[in-house]
């Protein structure tokens, strides 16, 4: 499958930024376009808390990972690398431990390590061992262990990339991911992470259309369970399944960005009339995911036909407009704000406008997210990489290829030092900017001001 299709055809590719001014590490636009995967209910919260509490069972795995070899300034890089690999070997050995809590601790420690560092050589040497261990965790583990194993599998695909090794790993694990995802008796948290891993793994490593169609069908079968039987609104879905439906829908939308045009038309006919049902869901994350997916489908449809028209456009726009202006007090204030911002952008695009452009600044470079396809791709990688997203954008060849950033930017120490702003200077600059902003807004808000 050609790499150029991934992430959609960018209007503006990734651009490098030089000079002495260091941009902020994140931007409000980037944050608004990358929502959390889902609110999976109490089961996922319990899974996360259980995972955090169980890591202490694996001796000295996490204490030095986050504070020592995975963060801070590296004085002796070679020594640090050897120390890190030594700890990683311990993590891999702990995956075969008889204690479930020890295995969970090892899985979480490996996940943190792969988020913070690029370790392709280490992983290539042990990919078969890791694949065997993850298979056992997914097949025989329960709840938390399965969720952690699926999350780690997604990270392995990101680290190994789209080469033969990544493709081999995905093919060996795909049947098991589908099995857990389709098992109604499995933990919702485990199914959620399997859906995300299946979508990301297929996006990165699937080499033929058959694998893509198979994964699309599987994910579609999951979130389609929320559709009503011919009614105008979605059926009541247990809160514990909201996260699963959201993750499946987002993974499905991710794969649509690489789907051939011959399949897109069939998907539009089948899903576009049904997706608006999810806009009435009780989960804010599921409503937002449905809205963003509808915008993506309109974008893909207009790529196929410039004069694309939707039969129920008036009803759809009315629903989107109500969500974009929702002020119900029984919703959390943060949820209302996030929902209104998302659906204002969706409504503007559906009615014929352009997609709002977000910028992501990392290091000396800037990534432009200027389409719904690129938004979905960026959000998918952000969900799995979390705080390590900027590091991988700078150094991971897979992400740089997906977003059109070109080869890894190599800078010497002198350039980095010249571009670095002291913390106190940055604080003073932000304080001055905030003061100027407050004064400007105060003049406008003053009732005595003459506003024409």
User: What's the token pair of residue 385?
Assistant: 């990489």
Both structure tokens of 212: 């893509």
Contacts of 158 (CB under 8 A, 6+ apart): 114, 200, 204, 381, 384, 385, 392, 396, 398, 399
Question: Which distant-in-sequence residues (6+ apart) come within 8 Å of 240 by Cβ?
Answer: 40, 41, 42, 43, 188
**C-alpha distances in Å from residue 217, one per residue of 252, 277, 289:** 9, 19, 18
Mapped onto helix, strand or coil, the DSSP state of residue 359 is strand
Please compute, for residue 298, the number of CA atoms within 13 A of its CA located in the half-sphere on the CB side: 28
By three-state DSSP, how is residue 367 classified? strand
Q: Please tell me the predicted confidence (pLDDT) of residue 445.
A: 65
Domains (range + CATH), the chain = 1-25+359-375+384-435 (no CATH), 39-206 (1.25.10.10)
pLDDT number for residue 326: 84
Q: For each successive 10 residues of the chain (452 residues), what is the average pLDDT?
A: 45 39 36 42 43 37 38 60 87 91 94 92 91 93 93 94 89 93 92 96 90 93 77 66 94 94 90 91 92 95 88 92 84 87 94 87 90 95 94 93 89 60 72 82 61 44
- As a whole number of angstroms, the distance between CA 86 and CA 68 comes to 13
- From 288, 198, 285, select the one nearest 248 (Cα to Cα): 198
As a whole number of angstroms, the distance between CA 274 and CA 253 comes to 14
Identify the pLDDT of residue 148.
95
Task: Give which of 392, 293, 405 is closest to 6, Cα–Cα.
Answer: 405
**Cα distance between residue 26 and residue 115, in whole Å:** 17
409 phi-psi bin (left φ>0, alpha ψ -120 to 50, beta other): beta
User: Residue 40 has what pLDDT?
Assistant: 43
**pLDDT score recorded for residue 448:** 53
Strand order in the sheet with 358-362: 15-16, 365-369, 358-362
Q: How far is CA 333 from the centre of its chain?
A: 24
Phi, psi of 16 (to 5 degrees): -90, 150
Alpha-carbon dihedral sign for residues 115, 10, 20, 412: positive
By three-state DSSP, how is residue 277 classified? helix
**Considering Cα of 309, then 314, then 315, then 319, what sign does the dihedral take?**
positive
State pLDDT tens for residues 141-172: 889 999 999 999 999 999 998 888 989 999 99
**Plot region of 378 (φ>0 → left; ψ -120 to 50 → alpha; else → beta):** alpha
Q: What is the pTM of this model?
A: 0.76
Chain centroid, CA 337 distance in Å: 20
Handedness of CA 375, 381, 385, 388 (dihedral sign): negative
Q: What is the CA radius of gyration of the chain?
A: 23
Q: Considering Cα of 102, then 103, then 106, then 107, what sign does the dihedral take?
A: negative
Q: Cα(363)–Cα(410) distance, rounded to whole angstroms?
A: 11
* Closest to 256 in 3D by CA, of 266, 246, 245: 266
Distance CA 294, CA 203 (A): 20
Which pLDDT belongs to residue 421? 62
């Amino acid at each position: 499958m050609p790499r150029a299709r991934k992430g959609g055809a960018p209007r503006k590719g990734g651009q490098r930024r030089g000079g002495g001014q260091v941009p902020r590490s994140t931007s409000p636009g980037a944050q608004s376009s990358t929502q959390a995967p889902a609110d999976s209910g109490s089961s996922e919260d319990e899974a996360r808390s259980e995972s955090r509490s169980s890591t202490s069972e694996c001796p000295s795995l996490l204490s030095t990972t986050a504070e020592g070899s995975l963060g801070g300034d590296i004085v002796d890089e070679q020594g640090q690398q050897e120390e890190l690999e030594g700890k990683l070997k311990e993590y891999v050995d702990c995956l075969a431990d008889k204690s479930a809590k020890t295995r969970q601790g090892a899985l979480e420690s490996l996940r943190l390590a792969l988020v913070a560092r690029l370790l392709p050589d280490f992983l290539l040497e042990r990919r078969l061992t890791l694949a065997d261990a993850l298979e056992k965790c997914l097949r025989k583990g329960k709840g938390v262990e399965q969720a952690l194993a699926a999350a780690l599998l997604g990270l392995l695909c990101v680290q190994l990339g789209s080469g033969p090794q990544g493709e081999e790993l995905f093919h060996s694990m795909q049947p098991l991911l589908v099995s857990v995802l389709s098992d109604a008796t499995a933990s919702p948290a485990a199914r959620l992470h399997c859906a995300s891993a299946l979508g990301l793994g297929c996006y990165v490593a699937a080499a033929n259309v058959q694998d893509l169609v198979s994964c699309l069908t599987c994910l579609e079968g999951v979130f389609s369970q929320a559709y009503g039987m011919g009614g105008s609104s979605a059926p009541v879905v247990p809160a514990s399944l909201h996260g699963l439906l959201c993750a499946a829908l987002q993974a499905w939308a991710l794969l649509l960005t690489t789907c051939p045009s011959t399949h897109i038309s069939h998907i539009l006919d089948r899903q576009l009339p049904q997706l608006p049902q999810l806009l009435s869901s009780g989960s804010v994350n599921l409503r937002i995911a449905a809205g963003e997916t509808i915008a993506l489908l309109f974008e893909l449809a207009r790529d196929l036909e410039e004069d694309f028209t939707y039969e129920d456009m008036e009803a759809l726009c009315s629903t989107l407009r109500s969500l974009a202006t929702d002020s119900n007090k029984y919703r959390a204030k943060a949820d209302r704000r996030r929902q209104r911002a998302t659906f204002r952008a969706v409504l503007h695009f559906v009615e014929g406008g352009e997609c709002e452009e977000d910028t992501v600044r990392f290091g000396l470079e800037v990534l432009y997210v200027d389409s719904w396809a690129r938004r979905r791709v960026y959000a998918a990688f952000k969900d799995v990489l979390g705080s390590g997203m900027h590091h991988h954008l700078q150094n991971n060849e897979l992400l740089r290829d997906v977003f059109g950033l070109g080869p890894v930017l190599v800078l010497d120490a002198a350039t980095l030092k010249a571009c670095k702003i002291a913390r106190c200077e940055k604080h003073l600059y932000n304080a001055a900017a905030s003061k100027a902003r407050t004064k400007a807004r105060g003049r406008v808000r003053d009732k005595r001001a003459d506003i024409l």
